[in-house]
Structure formats: C-alpha cells, structure tokens
C-alpha cells in the first residue's frame, strides 16, 4: 500500500547543475535564482500543469533538471498541456535524456499533444523503437499509433512484424484484472492497440493479417490480439475471429464473437450457437452481434428470434436486458404478449426495453399502446424516451414533440431534446426532414434548467440549425453552468460564416467556464487568429500539490452498495487533482444515495450523476490528467464531455478497454470486490463511499 507518490519527492542536491544531454545541441540551462529543492520544483510543475502554463519558460527548462523525477513529471506536464510548443522540448527529452523513465514519458507525452506531430517528431519516435529501454519502445509505438500521421500504420505494422520475426508470439496468458504488473510482451501489446487506434482514427493500419496470423490462423490466442482484430473491422480476418471464438477462455471467446460481428459478413451461423454458451460474457456479445446483423439487414436465421425469446427468461438480469434489445431488431411470433407483460415490470429499463422491442413485432399494436402509455416514475419516462429515440420512424418524432418534450420533469425534456436531435439527423439523411424540430429546439433554449438548455443547444449544433438563437442564448446566460455554456458554444461554433464563428470564439475567451475558454482558444489558434493563451480558474498552488505528493500511502476508497463493497486504490501520484476532488466529494457525502445510472455489461458501469440522467455533475469542471496506465478490468476513470470537463461522474471498466488509454483520466483500480462489479444493476445506489488516506480514519 506504500504509494509510489511519496517516492516522487526524492531530491538531488540543489547545487547540482543539469548536464547537457549529448544529443541535444543548444541546450538552455535554467536561469535565475538558486534552484528550489526537488519537492518544491515537482510541486511547481504540477501547479503549472494545472494552470496550463509554461511559466515563462520555467516548465520547459525542467527537462534539464538535475532530478530525473522532476524531468519526467515536467515532460508529462508538457504533453498534458498539449500545445504545439511542447513538441520541441519533448523531442529533446526523448532523444537526449539519460534516464529511460524520462525518455519513455517523453514518448508518451508526444502521443497526447493535441496537434498532428511534425515529421521530425515522428522520426524521433520511430528511432526510439530501437531504444535500449523496453519501456521507451513501448511508449514510442503507442505514441506513433496516436500521432504518427500517414506513416503510422506502416511503422507500427513493420515493428510488430520484426517482433514476430525475432521471438514470435508465444501463447500469452494473463489476468485481465492485472494493472501494474509489467511483462516482456508489453511492446507487442501496445503495438496491437496502436493498430486499432490508427483504424479508429480513419488511417491505414497496414498489413494486419500477417501481424495477427499466418495461413488464416492466429499467432496466439491472446485477448489483446482478439481485441485488436475485432477493432480493425476487416472481413479478411474472419478466420482469425472464428479461431478466437473457439477459445475456452470466455474473454477471448467473447472478443472473437465480437470480431465476427465487426466484419460486415453474414456470420449468424457462427454466432447463434454462442447464445447457449455458459459464460454470461460470451452470451452478451452474441446477442449484440445478432442485433447488429439484423440492423444491417444481414440474415440471422429463422431460429434466432426463438433463441432471443428464450433468453427473456434467463437467470441473469443482464442477459434478459440484452435479449430485449435483440428483439428490438429480430421479430418472433410469440414475443408480443411476453413484451406487453414486461411493460408492467418494476424496473424502468425493462419497461422501456419491452416497449422498444414491441416495435418490430407489431407496429400497429406498438403505436396503439404508445398513445395511451404513461409512467409515474420519472426514471421510467427517461428510459422510455431514450429508447424510443432509437426508432427511425417519423411517427416517433411526432410523439417526442408532443409528449416527452412537454413533460413536467426537466430531465425527461432534456433526454427528449437530445433524442429528437439524433432522430431528426437520421430522418434527414433519409430525406424526411421536419419543419417543426428546429423551432421546438430553439424554444427550449430559454428553459430554466441549464441542462435542458444544454440538450437543446447540442441538438441544434448536431442539425446545424438556429445559430443566431444559440449565440444569443449563450450571451444572455448568467447562470455560468459549464454544461450549457459549453454546449451552446459548440453549437454556435459549428455553423455559419467563418468570420461570425471567429467573432463568437473571441467573445468566448472571457467565458467563466474553463472548457469553453480552452476550446475557443483552440479554434482561434487553428484559424490563425489566436491571442494569448487563456488561464483556467480555480487552479491549485504548489503547496497544495506538495501536500498531495507527500501522502504516506495510496488512498483507498470503499464503495458500499446493497450488493457488497468495492475496494479501490486511488492513484494520487498519477492524478492528484482528480483523486483529491473524488476524496473531497466522497467525504462531503456527495455520492451517498446516487445511482449507477449507466451499466453496460462487458464495458463499464458509471455513477456520480446527481440528476440520474447522465448529464449531471457537481457544478464545476476539473482538468484532465491523462496518464500512462492501461484500462484493464476494474480500472476507474473520469467521465468526460471533452477535454477538461470532468467533475463527479466516474466509471469502472468491466473488461479491458484499451481504446480508452490516453483519452480519459485513469485515477484508480479495483483491489477487491470484482464479484460485486458483475452484480451491479442499473439503478443500484451507492450507500456511501469511505476514504482512508493513512492520516484521517475512515468513518
């Protein structure tokens, strides 16, 4: 339980002058008064990171600090700030620092800067693939996958081919709950994830078939390979997916099933048998693939509806909910009455799922029931509105306009506005636009509830409508709720002549919400019209960070629920601002009684929303602290709506989620209570969260 954080404070003698790295010509030495003690320098690095400031060059100079931990933390801060000016010092640290830990963090930091990297930075990362430190090679290949540009696929696939040629892929067997344990195959793991990232970003991942398999067979039955293959969405990998789907390991098997569904091929005959697999993880993926095949109008077989119908009575609640979603695309002649009965369930998600599933079974009966439907429970109306919005039918649009959009509960109206924007976008693409939608959305820009206004603004931005109304409502807002101001700013910035958008962004540079100021400056910078960098409000001082980093132990949190307790280790050394915010909210009782409002089997469960509709927060935002860790099973991350928009909502991963690496602040990991994670149902509530930090006893 001893924290790595306290080890960050080991100081080198203050009189030591920083050596000039051999490969860094023109090294600039830190000027000014005598060097602060290492703990003070480290705390100031964190404070400048918090302020998104280079400190008049002081932060850049820390890459030549005598203490390697200060140098490492400085290059991470430069990457997190993300501005193009960070690239040059990061390349200098990558190519010239004698400490492998500094070089590896510099490589990682190059991967999280916000702009595409210049060619010389990509070349430096490519050269780092031959570094003597395995950690440097790992972070270099990860960074190339994120910011390597047009050559990323070529470089990553080429390096993976070299790894295969040298040592092959022996059978990797590892616990998907492992977090900190290092292995000899981490470079291959991150290389595979890099291929998936390149594909996610629309790039060419190169020759993936030879990297992942040979002669149609996988090189290894490893979950990382199966996950990557599924993420590539390549029909040529279907034989590999079939091999993964035959694995006795349920995680690998589930990923193989997911991969089959990603190919765009009619693979129902491979997937339908998995509906009877004993593993919940596998059955859930199989149902999702069947639903996706039906949505794509691919054949699913005559018996599939019957299998889904049988799953309505499965002993596992998550399977029953997935079966409801499956029947929303796959009809079955006996489903109608069973679905109508489930519309009387005490579970709002089941009621909503049953109504949604009724649509393809009996449309006439569906609309007849919908015309007389009512629910006293706001949670039921929220869930129903959200599910109805998935149906691309103009009659649903009419229903949303005249029912949920006039609901007495602002949360229902907010969900209806969001759903209406998504539905109208779908119907417009099919040539069925409505003249009623944009005026209805504009009317809700004047709603009292800022989250309702935010939903209306976001929907107008999606539809590129009502630009002038959005900008006027933004300018008239006095509540300074970050959610609305950010949504309205984005909507106003998404449409209209460039000069109007530039003027709007300049106005937003004085916004009270830091995420708005940040996005306004980024827009202006890319338009060539940026001025001085905006400074975030509410930043912490060096003394605050010094206290966090001197914590004697890694803090622990116990999330108590009716189903048991989940014990979490909090990474205060990696994400001090996020952890301190979480601890403060927990000790104030903020989380007491809040629901797990989002539970997605095989993905995440999420809590921390006081509204219960996925949009709420504490009324402020905190910055991101993107770190080098991996999202494995049981990782704890901060939910976001863009960079630096965290607050109170957090999520816990139920399976490894490598696509979240480097995108969301990772601030903890489950130590105990994995069985509880798998039992949490939507709407289950947090009784309380107890904190132990080695100083203050938990209550």
pLDDT of residue 60: 95
* Residue 248 in tokens: 């006795």
- Same domain (yes/no): 194, 335: no
- Residue 137 pLDDT level (bands cut at 50, 70, 90): very high
Report pLDDT digits (tens) over 626-643. 999 999 999 999 999 999
* 161: Cα separation from own chain's centroid: 29
Kindly provide the residue ranges of all beta strands, DSSP E only, lying in 341-483, ordered along the sequence: none
- Same domain (yes/no): 240, 336: yes
- Same domain (yes/no): 128, 17: yes
pLDDT of residue 7: 35
Residue 559 lies in a domain: yes
Highest mean pLDDT among 26-35, 81-90, 539-548: 81-90
pLDDT (average), residues 314-319: 94
pLDDT of residue 167: 54
> CA 309, 318, 256 angle in degrees (round to 5)?
85
pLDDT (average), residues 179-208: 86
Cα end-to-end distance, the chain, whole Å: 20
pLDDT (average), residues 273-284: 96
Quote the DSSP letter at residue 9: G
Query: For residue 641, which phi and psi values (nearest 5 degrees)?
Result: -125, 50
- The closest alpha carbon to 646, from 558, 687, 585, 605, belongs to 585
Last residue of a domain, one of 319, 354, 373: 373
pLDDT of residue 4: 38
H/E stretch holding 636: strand 635-638
pLDDT of residue 175: 67
Report pLDDT digits (tens) over 59-100. 999 999 999 999 999 999 999 999 899 999 999 999 999 999
* Residue 299 in tokens: 């054949």
Residue 534 lies in a domain: no
pLDDT higher than threshold 70 for residue 303: yes
Distance between CA atoms of 271 and 253, rounded to whole angstroms?
Answer: 11
Residue 393 lies in a domain: no
- The closest alpha carbon to 673, from 689, 649, 657, 662, belongs to 689
User: Tokens 């030879």 sit at which residue?
Assistant: 210
Query: For residue 640, which phi and psi values (nearest 5 degrees)?
Result: -135, 160
- Residue 22 pLDDT level (bands cut at 50, 70, 90): very low
pLDDT of residue 691: 96
Distance between CA atoms of 265 and 296, rounded to whole angstroms?
Answer: 10
- Same domain (yes/no): 117, 263: no
CATH code of residue 367: 1.25.10.10
- Same domain (yes/no): 89, 156: yes
H/E stretch holding 599: strand 598-600
- The closest alpha carbon to 662, from 122, 160, 87, 197, belongs to 197
CATH code of residue 640: 2.40.100.10
Q: Is 218 helix (H, G, I), strand (E, B) or coil?
A: strand
CB 565 within 8 A of CB 673: yes
- The closest alpha carbon to 471, from 499, 428, 503, 515, belongs to 503
pLDDT of residue 26: 34
CB 148 within 8 A of CB 125: yes
- Same domain (yes/no): 586, 688: yes
pLDDT higher than threshold 60 for residue 12: no
Average confidence score pLDDT of the chain: 90
Question: Which are the contacts of 101, defined by CB distance < 8 A and separation ≥ 6?
Answer: 68, 69, 72, 135
CB 361 within 8 A of CB 335: yes
Report pLDDT digits (tens) over 397-414. 999 999 999 999 999 999
Q: Is 112 helix (H, G, I), strand (E, B) or coil?
A: coil
Question: Which are the contacts of 402, defined by CB distance < 8 A and separation ≥ 6?
Answer: none
Q: Is 209 helix (H, G, I), strand (E, B) or coil?
A: helix
- Same domain (yes/no): 231, 187: no
Residue 479 lies in a domain: no
Distance between CA atoms of 393 and 395, rounded to whole angstroms?
Answer: 5
pLDDT of residue 21: 38
pLDDT of residue 178: 64
Residue 381 lies in a domain: no
Highest mean pLDDT among 208-217, 219-228, 229-238: 229-238
pLDDT of residue 302: 83
- The closest alpha carbon to 330, from 364, 290, 365, belongs to 290
pTM of the model: 0.92
- Same domain (yes/no): 159, 12: yes
CB 197 within 8 A of CB 148: no
Query: Rg of the chain over CA atoms, in angstroms?
Result: 26
Distance between CA atoms of 464 and 308, rounded to whole angstroms?
Answer: 39
Lowest mean pLDDT across 10-24, 101-115, 318-332, 349-363: 10-24
pLDDT of residue 181: 63
pLDDT of residue 548: 81
pLDDT (average), residues 684-692: 97
Report pLDDT digits (tens) over 168-187. 555 556 667 766 666 777 89
- Residue 13 pLDDT level (bands cut at 50, 70, 90): very low
Pure H helices in 111-203: 119-128, 134-147, 152-167, 186-200
* Residue 640 in tokens: 């976001």
Task: Count CB atoms within 10 A of the CB of residue 313.
Answer: 10
- Residue 232 pLDDT level (bands cut at 50, 70, 90): very high
Looking only at the bridges linking them, the beta strands covering 635-638 and 650-653 are: antiparallel
Q: In 123-146, which positions are buried (b, 16+ CB within 10 angstroms) versus exposed (e)?
A: ebbbebbebebbbbbbbbbbbbbb
Q: Is 481 helix (H, G, I), strand (E, B) or coil?
A: coil
Q: Which residues pair with 612 in a beta bridge?
A: none
Report pLDDT digits (tens) over 95-114. 999 999 999 999 999 999 98
C-alpha distance from residue 481 to each of 429, 450, 613 (Å): 33, 7, 17
Last residue of a domain, one of 331, 350, 373: 373
Report pLDDT digits (tens) over 609-620. 999 899 999 999
Range of the domain at 83: 5-172+183-199
Last residue of a domain, one of 344, 373, 402: 373
pLDDT higher than threshold 70 for residue 27: no
pLDDT of residue 541: 79
Task: Count CB atoms within 10 A of the CB of residue 376.
Answer: 6
By percentage, how much of the chain surpasses pLDDT 70? 92
Count of structural domains within the chain: 3
Q: Is 433 helix (H, G, I), strand (E, B) or coil?
A: coil
pLDDT higher than threshold 60 for residue 3: no
C-alpha distance from residue 48 to each of 5, 56, 539, 622, 625 (Å): 18, 10, 9, 15, 13
Report pLDDT digits (tens) over 478-491. 776 889 999 999 99
Distance between CA atoms of 249 and 239, rounded to whole angstroms?
Answer: 18
Helix, strand, coil percent values for the chain (each to nearest 5): 55, 5, 40
- The closest alpha carbon to 509, from 518, 501, 498, 500, belongs to 518
Quote the DSSP letter at residue 663: T
CB 40 within 8 A of CB 66: no
3-state secondary structure 281-308: HHHHHHHHHHHHHHHCCCCCCCCHHHHH
CB 470 within 8 A of CB 439: no
Residue 439 lies in a domain: no
Quote the DSSP letter at residue 648: S
- Same domain (yes/no): 154, 51: yes
Distance between CA atoms of 385 and 438, rounded to whole angstroms?
Answer: 19
* 142: Cα separation from own chain's centroid: 17
By percentage, how much of the chain surpasses pLDDT 90? 78
- Same domain (yes/no): 167, 255: no
- Same domain (yes/no): 246, 162: no
In this predicted model, which residue has the larger pLDDT, 214 or 464?
464
- Same domain (yes/no): 141, 253: no
Task: Report the phi/psi class of residue 168: left, alpha or beta, with left for phi > 0 and alpha for psi in -120 to 50.
Answer: left
């Amino acid at each position: 339980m001893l924290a790595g954080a306290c080890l960050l404070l080991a100081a080198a003698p203050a009189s030591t002058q920083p050596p000039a790295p051999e490969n860094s010509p023109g090294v600039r030495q830190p000027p000014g008064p005598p060097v602060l003690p290492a703990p003070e320098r480290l705390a100031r690095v964190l404070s400048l990171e918090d302020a998104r400031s280079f400190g008049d060059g002081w932060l850049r100079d820390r890459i030549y600090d005598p203490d390697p931990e200060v140098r490492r933390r400085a290059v991470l801060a430069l990457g997190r700030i993300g501005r193009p000016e960070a690239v040059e010092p990061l390349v200098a640290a990558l190519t010239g620092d004698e400490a492998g830990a500094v070089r590896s963090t510099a490589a990682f930091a190059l991967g999280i800067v916000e702009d595409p990297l210049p060619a010389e930075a990509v070349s430096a990362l490519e050269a780092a693939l031959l570094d003597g430190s395995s950690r440097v090679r790992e972070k270099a290949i990860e960074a190339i996958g994120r910011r390597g540009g047009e050559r990323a696929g070529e470089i990553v696939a080429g390096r993976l081919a070299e790894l295969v040629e040298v040592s092959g892929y022996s059978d990797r067997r590892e616990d998907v709950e492992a977090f900190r344990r290092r292995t000899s195959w981490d470079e291959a793991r991150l290389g595979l994830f890099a291929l998936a990232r390149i594909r996610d970003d629309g790039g060419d991942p190169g020759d993936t078939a030879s990297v992942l398999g040979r002669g149609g067979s996988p090189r290894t039955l490893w979950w990382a390979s199966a996950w990557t293959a599924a993420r590539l969405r390549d029909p040529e990998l279907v034989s590999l997916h079939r091999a993964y789907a035959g694995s006795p390991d349920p995680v690998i098997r589930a990923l193989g099933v997911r991969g089959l569904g990603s190919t765009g091929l009619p693979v129902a005959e491979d997937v339908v048998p998995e509906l009877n697999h004993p593993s919940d993880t596998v059955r859930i993926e199989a149902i999702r693939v069947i639903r996706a095949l039906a949505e794509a109008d691919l054949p699913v077989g005559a018996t599939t509806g019957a299998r889904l119908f049988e799953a309505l009575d499965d002993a596992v609640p998550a399977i029953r909910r997935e079966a409801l979603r499956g029947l929303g695309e796959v009809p079955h002649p006996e489903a109608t009455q069973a679905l109508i009965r489930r519309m009387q369930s005490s579970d709002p998600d089941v009621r909503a799922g049953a109504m949604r599933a009724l649509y393809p079974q009996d449309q006439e009966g569906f609309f007849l029931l919908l015309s007389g439907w009512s629910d006293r429970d706001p949670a039921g109306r929220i869930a129903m509105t959200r599910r109805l919005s998935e149906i691309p039918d103009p009659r649903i649009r009419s229903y949303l306009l005249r029912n949920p959009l006039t609901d007495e509960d602002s949360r229902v109206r907010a969900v209806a506005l969001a759903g209406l924007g998504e539905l109208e976008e779908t119907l417009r693409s099919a040539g069925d636009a409505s003249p009623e939608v944009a005026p209805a959305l504009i009317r809700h820009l004047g709603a009292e509830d800022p989250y309702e206004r935010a939903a209306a603004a976001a929907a107008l931005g999606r539809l590129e409508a009502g630009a002038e109304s959005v900008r006027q409502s933004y300018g008239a807002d006095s509540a300074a709720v970050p959610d609305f101001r950010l949504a309205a700013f984005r909507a106003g910035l998404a449409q209209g002549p460039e000069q109007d958008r530039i003027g709007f962004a300049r106005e937003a540079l004085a916004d009270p919400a830091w995420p708005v100021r940040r996005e306004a400056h980024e827009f202006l910078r890319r338009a060539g019209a940026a001025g001085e960098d905006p400074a975030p409000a509410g930043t912490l001082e060096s003394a605050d960070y010094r206290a966090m980093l001197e914590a004697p132990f890694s803090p622990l949190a116990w999330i108590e629920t009716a189903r048991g307790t989940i014990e979490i280790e909090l990474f205060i050394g990696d994400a001090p601002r996020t952890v301190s915010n979480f601890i403060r909210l927990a000790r104030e009782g903020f989380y007491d009684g809040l629901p797990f409002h989002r539970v997605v089997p095989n993905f995440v469960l999420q809590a921390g929303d006081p509204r219960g509709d996925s949009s709420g927060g504490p009324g402020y935002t905190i910055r991101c602290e993107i770190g080098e860790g991996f999202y494995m099973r049981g990782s704890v991350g901060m939910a976001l709506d863009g960079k630096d928009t965290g607050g109170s909502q957090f999520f816990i991963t139920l399976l490894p989620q490598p696509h979240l690496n480097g995108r969301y602040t990772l601030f903890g990991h489950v130590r105990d209570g994995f069985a509880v994670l798998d039992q949490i149902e939507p709407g289950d509530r947090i009784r309380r969260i107890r904190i132990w930090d080695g100083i203050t006893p938990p209550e």
